[in-house]
Structure 1
Amino acid sequence: MRIVTWNIQWGLGIDGTVDLARMVREARALADFDVLCLQEVSDNFSSLKGNSGANQFAELAALLPGYTAVEGVALDLPDGAGRRRRFGNMILSRLPVGQVLRYTLPWEAAATRNMPRLLLEATVTTPSGPLRVMTTHLEYSSDALRRAQVEGIREAHRTACARTVTPREDGPGTYVRLPSAPSAVLTGDFNMRPEDPVKRRISEPFADGAPALLDAWQALHREEPHPASFCIYDRTSSEPLCCDFVFVTQDIASRLRRIAYDQETQASDHQPVLIELDL
């Protein structure tokens, strides 16, 4: 099973051109992915650099026929003309998708420039059973907000695992119970360096026995430094660094076969990351 995650910066490449088709081509060049997790997808946001204001959620779904498109809108605003402006994450899967959950992450008081953030989860059916695939994009400007958001992610994972230990009663209609699992993959742009204590908090054990979320790069490469995933080609914001990660639960870490950071593409200011799991 191949999963690619990428902060696409609404398709804005280093050349200043917004091109979603190019982004999909580059992702496919990295791998024949089963699941694509995206951050910074926009709809009706012509105020963003190079953005036409198109509904990118719909455009990406059209670019990947045969994939189930799952929207994760974190920011939903009026545009003053009767429409909504939307911004957030997306999961596209060619594996069957069951339950979808959207967790609004904690948004506490902070004087920095910040906005609502979301954890998007889709349970996909693999040959080995259900797997929860999650993607997120944490706050850039505030360490305190990132701390709160990490706790929100941990709680979402913990409660998902608890629901597999104590299954709820099945029922008709809205009470139907669909397959789930403690096994999960967490992807995204975490806006933290690998050594950040808040990033390390993601992988700390759970008191109730839920499987820990392990950094996939560290699981395979131990102490070898993470490859840079941001500011490789545009160093306006920073020197090159890694802030895009993939985590896998402890119970499936032994099935992790490969993780790769594509440092060649210039279709975004971030680099895509691929993991391969033997499922």
Structure 2
Amino acid sequence: MTKIVSWNIQCGLGVDGQINLNRIAEVISSQGDPDIICLQEVARFDPDSDQGQGADQYAILSDLFPHHSAFWGPAIDRLYSGEHNRRQFGNMILSRLPVLQVFNHLLPQPRPEKPCKNMPRQALEVVVNLENGPLRIATTHLEYHCTKQRYAQAGYLCEVQEEVVSNLDYHCIAPSSGPYAAIPRPERSIICGDFNAVVGEETYSLLNSEIPLISKHYIDAWPAFHNDKKHAPTCGIFDPEQWPEGPHCRDFFFITESLVPFVKNVRVDEQTDASDHQPVTLEL
């Protein structure tokens, strides 16, 4: 069994107004000791994100999971005048499984149709080695304020999968070592994270292969396992001020159809208020 947890941790900020990464780690460990942990909204040396602490949250979380290898994907990487540390904000993956290779994807940021707040977005991809072969896992956090950017970012993720599939025969001519070597990057793939889209929205439909001219590889793991059961809410349970629309789902696992037979469970922890989002677990 392989367990993967995805969680937007809001830089460790709980609904009680306290930043507590130890609490975040405790909640993650309670999900059944996951093999792979995919986190969104992790900050490094950014006091604007962690109530003035300016902590290296990547380092702290790495230390809290000493049996996992840590990988970092900054969406924002800036140096402010008079500061020595770069302020960073992005995604993180912790893996207890061997990681064969890593890719950092800067997602598109097209001009909004109407001026609005928006920021750089990123997807972090790792290839892990399972007993039955390699698996690609990417975690991301798509744009919230700009629908056009969010859709373009989802389209990019679909294009990456199409590109990977089209290049699967490269190993036939690749050298055995060096930068041109064909390190495994399989068709079997998972994208998880905070997509800032709800079921039925165009971005969701794109990632769920409902727009076949553009996307045809991924499907939402929740209905693949739970059939007609409504998605459990992944945000808005405990924080009505930030989420006045109430409990709803915007955090998903999208998987390739080749993984559907291996899905043993998809579940949401609806009890914790350690973030404004809820952790989601996929078991394979």
Shorter chain as denominator, the TM-score bin is over 0.9
- Please give the secondary structure, in 1, of the residue aligned with 2:167: helix
Taking structure 1 as reference, are residues 172 and 71 closer, same or farther at Cα in structure 2, changes over 3 Å only? Answer: same
Any idea what the Cα deviations from partners look like across 1:237-258, whole Å, max 9, x if unmatched? 3221110001111011111010
Secondary structure class of the residue paired with 1:30:
coil
Tell me the alpha carbon deviations over residues 202-221 of structure 1, each in whole angstroms, 9 at most, x when there is no partner.
Answer: 1217979x972110101012
Match of 2:130 in 1: 126
Q: Summarize the alignment of residues 235-250 of structure 1 with structure 2, pairs less than 5 Å apart.
A: 235-238=240-243, 239-250=246-257
1:10–1:51 contact (8 Å) kept in structure 2? no
Indicate which of 68, 93, 96 corresponds to 1:94: 96
- Work out whether 1:20 is the aligned partner of 2:21: yes
Which residue matches 1:265? 272
Write the distance in 2 (CA, Å) between the matches of 1:124 and 1:233. Answer: 34
The residue number in structure 2 matching 1:79 is 80
Supply the distance in 2 between the matched residues of 1:172 and 1:212 (Cα, whole angstroms): 30
Q: Name the structure 1 match of 2:46.
A: 45
Note the C-alpha offset of 1:51: 4.7
Is the contact between residue 31 and residue 274 of structure 1 (CA under 8 Å) also seen in structure 2? Answer: no
The answer (yes or no) to whether the contact 1:103–1:156 under 8 Å persists in 2 is: no
CA RMSD across the alignment: 1.9
Q: Distance in 2 between matches of 1:195 and 1:22?
A: 33
**Once the two structures are superposed, what CA deviation does each residue of 1:3-28 show, in whole Å capped at 9, x if it has no partner?**
00000000111111111111011011
Unpaired runs of at least 5, structure 1? none
2:201 pairs with 1:196: yes
1:170 counterpart SS class: coil
**Cα displacement string for residues 174-211 of structure 1 (whole angstroms, at most 9, x for unaligned residues):** 33331221001110000011121221111217979x97
Shift of the 146–174 alpha-carbon distance from structure 1 to 2, 3 Å rule, reads same
Match of 1:145, SS?
helix
Aligned mates of 1:180, 1:66 — CA distance in 2: 24
Whichever residue aligns with residue 250 of structure 2, its letter is: C
Query: What does 1:82-161 align with in structure 2 at a 5 Å threshold?
Result: 82-110=84-112, 111-161=115-165
Contact kept? 2:11, 2:50, Cα under 8 Å:
no
Distance 1:237 1:17, change over 3 A: closer
Q: C-alpha separation between the residues in 1 aligned to 2:52 and 2:182?
A: 40
Is the contact between residue 44 and residue 87 of structure 2 (CA under 8 Å) also seen in structure 1? yes
Contact 1:228 1:240 in 2 (8 A): yes
Q: Distance in 2 between matches of 1:11 and 1:51?
A: 13
Report deviation, 1:133. Answer: 0.6
- The number of aligned residues is 277
The residue type paired with residue 219 of structure 1 is A
Is residue 182–residue 211 contact of structure 1 (8 Å, CA) maintained in 2? no
Q: What's the TM-score once normalised by structure 1's chain length?
A: 0.94
What SS class does the counterpart of residue 229 from structure 2 fall into? coil
TM-score of the pair, normalised by structure 2: 0.93
Q: Output the amino acid matched with 2:272.
A: T
Residue 104 of structure 2 aligns to a residue whose secondary structure is strand
Partner-residue secondary structure (3-state), 1:166: helix
Contact 2:151 2:202 in 1 (8 A): no
